[in-house]
Amino acid sequence: MPSEILSRALASACRSRGAARLTALLLSLALALLLAACARPAPLNQPMAVGFLPAPGEFLTDGGDRLSPEDFLARAQNATYVLIGEAHGQPCDHEAERRMLTLLAHGKQGLAVGLEMVPAKNSAVLQDFVAGRIAPEDLAARLDWPRTWGHPFPRYLPIFLTLREWKLPSAGLNVPPEVIRRLSAAAMDNATASDPVPSLSAEDQAQLPKRIIPPAPEQLAFLREVMSEHPQGRNAEDPKQIARFQLIQSVWDSAMAEAAVRLRQTTGKQVAVLAGTAHVEGGLGIARRIRVLDPGAEILLISPWRGDDFDPEDAQVRVYCPISFESRMGMTLEDRPFGEESIVVVSQVRRGSRAEAAGLRPGDVVTRAGGYRMRSLTTLHLAGSDAYKNKSSLKLTISRGNACYTVDLGPLGKQGPAQSSAPKAQAAPLSASPATPK
């Protein structure tokens, strides 16, 4: 492999400056906790899940140790299929996918890529884009992106540009959403509930996988849990709804597996699949169907790790990608691991934004939001809901170095300082001593 190409592939994995800043931030917070709380012996009976403090985008082994980009490539080189899980709204996940595709493109097998985000019937559009026959600014319209996927296209564009840059054979994997909707409706029809597929048109049936492989028994409890989190979760005890949900999930996973195997057969290359984590983690979704369709194929599972419980059964390779939230106030917050808990860090503040005017700065650690201790980004939702209902200001308590401050973001629903006369608040010190979490 030419050294300059490998250097280019590895450069995007280097983040020593960001890692050093995060380490300094966590050390300052640890000092604050030590000064403000009573010292106790560290627990000796808690297993150590990870052996280092990762920076966003770093690779980990399934044992929780650091995996360098070179070792990642060596780990993946013999896999027939590399299944990469993502949360569709998380920018860190998409950036990690882009870097992994760049690395995998230099593997000895060559690389082809399948995407859950694109219906299989639009694969020709992907091929035309990779070949340079479609301009980047026209790709979303040609893919009918708002209707077929809907998540912000700019977050996925760097991935598509990577496919084009390395001329990677690519294919869509999923079933068109309108076909899924018609199948779902047929599954709820009393006359067709036992076998809804024959009630669809021949055109719709052609979009379905040739073989719908049902879920494994050990996946059923997980699917029930996923269903309960959907808007129709109130029907999670209805046997017909359960059967419908399991059918749709089986169709989706079977279709993606079938398209991935077809891509392998037509290109002879290693196939990387980008799909939601629920279809990847644990190997019960796409991987299980691939093993049925392509027995003996080696499959590598890759999944994001959020700093929570580290389950080696989820994947053989993990990528540390903290959950982040980008507010219309101009701030981006991230969950970061800290001991057995997590902290919420301000990773970015947009210049000229309401967050900047209120005194928030990158690197601040949010310790409280409204009346709640800031244990995760979910807390911000609770505090925001309270402020909105009470027509009150959303106030944050932040730790910056050894000082503690309040930040008044003003009433929710108001425009930022560039658009209106939002309060021109400043970060006011609460005390000269380090913050003490409550």
CATH number at residue 357: 2.30.42.10
> Does 425 have pLDDT greater than 70?
no
- What is the token pair recorded at 82? 């590399």
pLDDT at 34: 44
Question: Across residues 77-100, what is the average pLDDT?
Answer: 95
Burial 236-252 (b: 16+ CB within 10 A, else e): beeeebbebbbbbbbbb
Q: Which residue has the higher pLDDT, 32 or 98?
A: 98
Question: Across residues 245-259, what is the average pLDDT?
Answer: 94
Burial 32-42 (b: 16+ CB within 10 A, else e): bbeeeeeeeee
> Does 242 have pLDDT greater than 90?
no
3-state secondary structure of 264: helix
**Shared domain check, 220 and 292:** yes
pLDDT-derived band of residue 183, with 50, 70 and 90 as boundaries? very high
- Among 281, 297, 321, residue at a domain's last position: 321
* Cα–Cα distance measured from residue 65 to residue 62, given in angstroms and rounded to the nearest whole number: 8
pLDDT-derived band of residue 32, with 50, 70 and 90 as boundaries? low
User: 371 near 362, Cβ under 8 Å?
Assistant: no
- With respect to residue 335, please indicate whether it lies within any of the assigned structural domains: yes
- With respect to residue 33, please indicate whether it lies within any of the assigned structural domains: no
**Shared domain check, 387 and 239:** no
Report how far apart, in Å, the C-alpha atoms of 248 and of each of 117, 256, 282, 351 are: 16, 12, 19, 44
pLDDT at 46: 76
User: Amino acid identity of 148?
Assistant: T
Please give the residue range of the domain that contains residue 347: 324-431
Which has the minimum average pLDDT: 24-38, 71-85, 143-157, 395-409? 24-38
| Mean pLDDT score of the chain | 84
Question: Which segment, 19-28, 256-265, 427-436, is predicted with the most confidence on average?
Answer: 256-265
Express each pLDDT in 291-337 by its tens digit. Answer: 999 999 999 999 999 888 888 889 999 999 988 888 889 999 988 87
- With respect to residue 17, please indicate whether it lies within any of the assigned structural domains: no
Question: Which segment, 23-37, 193-207, 416-430, is predicted with the most confidence on average?
Answer: 193-207
Name the CA radius of gyration of the chain, rounded: 24
The residue assigned the tokens 């026209």 is 138
Indicate left, alpha or beta for 307 from its phi (over 0: left) and psi (-120 to 50: alpha): left
pLDDT at 402: 87
**Shared domain check, 382 and 292:** no
- What is the token pair recorded at 392? 């009150």
- With respect to residue 35, please indicate whether it lies within any of the assigned structural domains: no
pLDDT at 8: 47
Q: How many residues does the chain have?
A: 438
pLDDT-derived band of residue 92, with 50, 70 and 90 as boundaries? very high
Report how far apart, in Å, the C-alpha atoms of 76 and of each of 38, 104, 110, 157 are: 47, 8, 12, 24
- Among 289, 321, 353, residue at a domain's last position: 321
Express each pLDDT in 43-77 by its tens digit. Answer: 778 778 888 888 889 999 999 999 999 999 999 99
**Shared domain check, 328 and 315:** no
Half-sphere exposure of 125 (CA within 13 A, CB side): 20
Express each pLDDT in 156-170 by its tens digit. Answer: 999 999 999 999 999
* Cα–Cα distance measured from residue 399 to residue 408, given in angstroms and rounded to the nearest whole number: 14
- With respect to residue 104, please indicate whether it lies within any of the assigned structural domains: yes
Question: Across residues 185-207, what is the average pLDDT?
Answer: 84
138: CATH = 3.40.50.11550
> Does 7 have pLDDT greater than 50?
no
* Cα–Cα distance measured from residue 406 to residue 421, given in angstroms and rounded to the nearest whole number: 20
* Cα–Cα distance measured from residue 83 to residue 342, given in angstroms and rounded to the nearest whole number: 28
What percentage of the chain has pLDDT greater than the value 70?
A: 81
pLDDT at 25: 55
Express each pLDDT in 356-396 by its tens digit. Answer: 999 999 999 999 999 899 888 888 888 988 998 889 999 99
Q: Which residue has the higher pLDDT, 193 or 113?
A: 113
pLDDT at 49: 83
Phi then psi for residue 149, to 5 deg, are -130, -60
DSSP string for 125-167: HHHHHHTT-S-HHHHHHHTTHHHHT-S-HHHHHHHHHHHHHTT
- With respect to residue 381, please indicate whether it lies within any of the assigned structural domains: yes
**Shared domain check, 328 and 281:** no
- With respect to residue 43, please indicate whether it lies within any of the assigned structural domains: no
Which is it for the CA torsion 160, 164, 166, 167, positive or negative?
positive
**Shared domain check, 310 and 378:** no
* Cα–Cα distance measured from residue 262 to residue 183, given in angstroms and rounded to the nearest whole number: 23
- Among 321, 350, 381, residue at a domain's last position: 321
**Shared domain check, 235 and 87:** yes
**Shared domain check, 412 and 274:** no
**Shared domain check, 216 and 95:** yes
pTM higher than 0.75, yes or no? yes
**Shared domain check, 152 and 85:** yes
**Residue 405: in which H helix or E strand, if any?**
strand 403-411
* Cα–Cα distance measured from residue 214 to residue 192, given in angstroms and rounded to the nearest whole number: 18
- What is the token pair recorded at 41? 């012996």
Q: How many domains does the chain have?
A: 2
> Does 339 have pLDDT greater than 70?
no
Report how far apart, in Å, the C-alpha atoms of 303 and of each of 89, 364, 386 are: 15, 28, 34
**Shared domain check, 381 and 256:** no
**Shared domain check, 73 and 211:** yes
pLDDT at 3: 46
- With respect to residue 270, please indicate whether it lies within any of the assigned structural domains: yes
> Does 422 have pLDDT greater than 60?
no
